[in-house]
Structure 1
Amino acid sequence: MTLPDSSPYVVVGGGVHGLSSAYHLALELERSGSGSGKDVIVLEKSRIGAGASGIACGVVRNFYFSPAMAEVIRVSVELFESDPVGFGYRPVGYIAAVPEVQAEDCVAIQGRQAEIGYSSDIVLGESRCQAHMEAIFPDWNGDGIEAVLHERQGGWAATSQTVENLARLARAKGVRIFEGVEVTGIDLHDGSVHAVETSAGSVETDLLVAGPGPWAGHLWRLLELEPEVRTNGERRPIVTYWKLQEGDYWLDDVELTDAKGNEPPVVHLDHVLPLRSDRDGGVIEDGPWGIYYKIGRRGFGVQGGGVPIELGTDVELEPYGHENPDHIVGDEFTDYFTAGLAWAHKRFRGKGREWHVDPHGGIGAFTPDNYPIVGFVRPNAYVIMDSNHGFKMIGMGKLAARDIVGGGESRLEPFRLSRYEAGITHAVSNSPYPWN
């Protein structure tokens, strides 16, 4: 395909947000009678799913303290459930097991899930939590775990399959996807986007939609927007980068299965008790810690991650992902993660030096309150800056398309850029993670 000189809608980014937005724009334009998918093009500098979407762990969950996020995830899970085969979606459920300091958060989260019709159960008290988890994992250790939130919906999805399915759906509606086309600049006239400059030429457009993922800071600069926002009386950078800590781990003689030998739910474990190495017994973390894990992406072993590391405002993003040694985890995280597994499951104890490792990672771009920024940042420039909540939120593109074509979407109001100046930021949980 040849890149056109103009297109009514130019979508930048071939990850879940860009592709979902393109597909749902095509649907909304068709529904409203104002256009079709032929009016939409997607620009991806490498290949679809080459960024954070393609290398994510793939967890799909609604474990969010922010009420606004709960609704976005509900819409997203419905989308996964609409085509589980196409999206490679495994609805095995999701469990959050947490200490007393987070128990009230879990109660509030489960209450909101019930209000929006998202199926989940809450278990409180150490003995009850132990019984609930032992029924799933007979070797479970729940010392100090005071709350278990068990999401009956949710689970995980194959990342590459999800991205490919979104691209297939978009193309079926007439959307053209251009891979290997890098955005090099944005031509602004009187504050509005006139054209998108690319490595393959310039494309004039009526509306730019961007799902930049980790490249949010770069896009912000191309749009010539202020690099900081004022919120709660202080200036904060619009983007701060964190190193993501994930990997695939497996043993020769032990698997992660439930009591019946089947694939278990995804597990999120937070704690405040000291975390000790399963290699030498040394204290790795004497403050809050956390891991999340599921069956490995190869169909065996364990895939998961832990609390990310804040890097600041200046990082090198290229090359992005697992091929960059600066982006992936090292042995220190392997010790941390496998120690967490050994704390939770007796089957993994004494195996600290026996794990095979496929290290993962990446860089995430986080907003000032660690929640997405969604909406118009210039008269005809619409952004979805996901603050690393990305992969599971495939429904964000659906809401964004309604917002753009329909003239507003109330469920996205809490994610507007203007919230910072107004001092209306999202609720903060007691989780050690920046994204709960």
Structure 2
Amino acid sequence: MSIPPELPKSARYVIIGAGVHGLSTAWHLARELRESGEGGGDDVVVLDKTAVGAGASGIACGVVRNNYFQPAMRRLMAHSVSVWESDPAAFSYHPVGYLQAAPESMRAGVVQIHAEQQEIGYRSTLVEGEQDCRSYLQDLFGDWKAPGITNVLHESRGGYANNQASMRGLAGKARAEGVSILSGVQVTGLDLADGAVQAVVTDRGTVRCEHVVAAVGPWVRDLWEMLDLSATIAVRGADGQLHDDVDMWTYLLLQEGTLGVNPGLFTDTSGRMPPVMHVDSDEPLLDEDGELITDSMWGIYYKPDFNFGGVQGGSMPVTVEKNAADVAVDPYGPASPEFVVSPEFAHMWTAALAHCHSRFQGTRHLYRDEPSGGLGCFTPDSFPVFDTFRQNAYVIADSNHGYK
């Protein structure tokens, strides 16, 4: 039987959550305290109710990309990519790049992304025109066959990280700075007084603090409630009008799975690991029996991944049609009796792989039929929020963009 961790009576900084955000925050905070002479890692405590990487970070596909339509997001992600590149071995990071292939309806937006990537010095290649795109993709993959692609954006940087290994690497860097990471400590409440958080209440005792960081991924709804913040907010829409009583949180079910083939067989024409692939298409999608799956826009992403033991990827998440307060986040991920991917996802995703590459034709039966996926907690505009509330509570609400 493991010995319960000894909880300190107080700490300057208490970070809740030992996933990618909590561990990265702990590492950078401790380092900056040390370098500024204002403290060090012994001022920082990380609490997690289970263990390092036990939540969304530990089952994530781990894609690291810069491909966003919003300039602010691209600048943020370029910074994050630099951190991943700083120690690929420790972070189990594979800098294979990221490639988006898209139809004509997305062309103008992709051209804009490329232009703005050049402005910030983020290396990428833009290919336009259906024939040039086909040639580019067939040079990369000899078996490429998807029609209707008129624009390709190939980011030289980016790639993916192995989920659990990268969390161990981040935890190691935080511990090397002197940070304490305490597992098996569940936060049950926050002691609020005079408009600020005075202490973090757990099932193993109370820790007084000067600052608290909520870095809990899909459990952010619960920390938000502990901070006594509103479940609805007012949002100004693109129409310029203020919309009241908009739900602060919406849960989406992440659609991901693995094709059980040798990942070493999915290489480019040079025998190297390919970029992470993201394909959007408005072409009709048929299954291996010729039956129509959809004639609407569809999209997938995929990569060979030895960590997953196959070709791993996913498609667009699905909105959970429940009030956020009624969604059971625990048990999380594959252990959930309710929130795992459906057979319809496997049908669509394997058909899409075969639509793009002849090597994946007839491989539907190799899809690994096992529980996969997980919940993501999204803000009203589905973008991250990093902000201070209640004077000293820094909330990281990542809208499932954590690894990037």
Shorter-chain TM-score category?
Answer: over 0.9
Cα distance change of structure 1 residues 260 and 31 upon mapping to structure 2, 3 Å threshold: same
Secondary structure class of the residue paired with 1:307: strand
Q: Pick one of 224, 230, 237 that aligns with 2:228.
A: 224
How far does the alpha carbon of each residue in 1:267-322 deviate from its partner, in whole angstroms, 9 at most, with x for none?
000111222222x3222222111100000344753100001100142311111111
Cα distance change of structure 1 residues 142 and 277 upon mapping to structure 2, 3 Å threshold: closer
CA drift at 1:190: 2.0
**Relative to structure 2, which stretch is displaced further, 296-305 or 217-226?**
296-305
8 A contact 2:162–2:307 mirrored in 1 = no
Cα distance change of structure 1 residues 44 and 356 upon mapping to structure 2, 3 Å threshold: closer
8 A contact 1:246–1:306 mirrored in 2 = yes
CA drift at 1:350: 2.9
User: Is 2:75 aligned against 1:66?
Assistant: no
Match of 1:129 in 2: 133
Match of 1:284 in 2: 293
In structure 1, distance between residues paired with 2:207 and 2:309: 46
In structure 2, distance between residues paired with 1:249 and 1:324: 21
Q: How does 1:27-426 map to 2 (within 5 A)?
A: 27-232=31-236, 233-234=242-243, 235-251=245-261, 255-278=265-288, 280-298=289-307, 300-311=309-320, 312=322, 313=324, 314-392=326-404
In structure 2, distance between residues paired with 1:368 and 1:375: 15
**Relative to structure 2, which stretch is displaced further, 31-40 or 362-371?**
31-40
How far does the alpha carbon of each residue in 1:248-273 deviate from its partner, in whole angstroms, 9 at most, with x for none?
11247993221123321110001112
Cα distance change of structure 1 residues 207 and 389 upon mapping to structure 2, 3 Å threshold: same
How many residue pairs match? The answer is 391
Match of 1:415 in 2: none
Secondary structure class of the residue paired with 1:3: coil
**TM-score normalised by the chain length of structure 1:** 0.87
CA drift at 1:71: 1.2
In structure 2, distance between residues paired with 1:297 and 1:105: 33
8 A contact 1:242–1:364 mirrored in 2 = yes
CA drift at 1:52: 0.6
8 A contact 2:185–2:204 mirrored in 1 = yes
How far does the alpha carbon of each residue in 1:107-151 deviate from its partner, in whole angstroms, 9 at most, with x for none?
111112111111111111111110110011111123111110000
How far does the alpha carbon of each residue in 1:126-177 deviate from its partner, in whole angstroms, 9 at most, with x for none?
1111011001111112311111000010111111111111111111111101
CA drift at 1:354: 4.3
Q: Which runs of 5+ in 2 are unaligned?
A: 237-241
Amino acid of the structure 2 residue aligned with 1:261:
G
8 A contact 1:254–1:348 mirrored in 2 = no
Secondary structure class of the residue paired with 2:364: coil
8 A contact 2:278–2:301 mirrored in 1 = yes
In structure 2, distance between residues paired with 1:176 and 1:349: 50
Amino acid of the structure 1 residue aligned with 2:65:
R
Q: Which runs of 5+ in 1 are unaligned?
A: 393-436
Query: Which structure is higher in RCO with an 8 Å CA cutoff and minimum separation 6?
Result: 1
**TM-score normalised by the chain length of structure 2:** 0.93
In structure 2, distance between residues paired with 1:380 and 1:344: 49
Secondary structure class of the residue paired with 1:140: coil
8 A contact 1:93–1:150 mirrored in 2 = yes
8 A contact 1:23–1:170 mirrored in 2 = yes
Secondary structure class of the residue paired with 1:26: helix
Secondary structure class of the residue paired with 1:316: coil
The root-mean-square deviation of aligned C-alpha atoms, in Å, is: 1.6
Secondary structure class of the residue paired with 2:106: helix
Cα distance change of structure 1 residues 250 and 366 upon mapping to structure 2, 3 Å threshold: same
Q: Percent of pairs identical after alignment?
A: 48
Secondary structure class of the residue paired with 1:209: strand
CA drift at 1:330: 2.6
In structure 2, distance between residues paired with 1:351 and 1:210: 42
8 A contact 1:248–1:296 mirrored in 2 = no
Secondary structure class of the residue paired with 1:197: strand
How far does the alpha carbon of each residue in 1:25-82 deviate from its partner, in whole angstroms, 9 at most, with x for none?
1111122222111111001010010111110001111111111111111111111111
Cα distance change of structure 1 residues 9 and 94 upon mapping to structure 2, 3 Å threshold: same
In structure 2, distance between residues paired with 1:299 and 1:378: 41
In structure 1, distance between residues paired with 2:231 and 2:309: 44
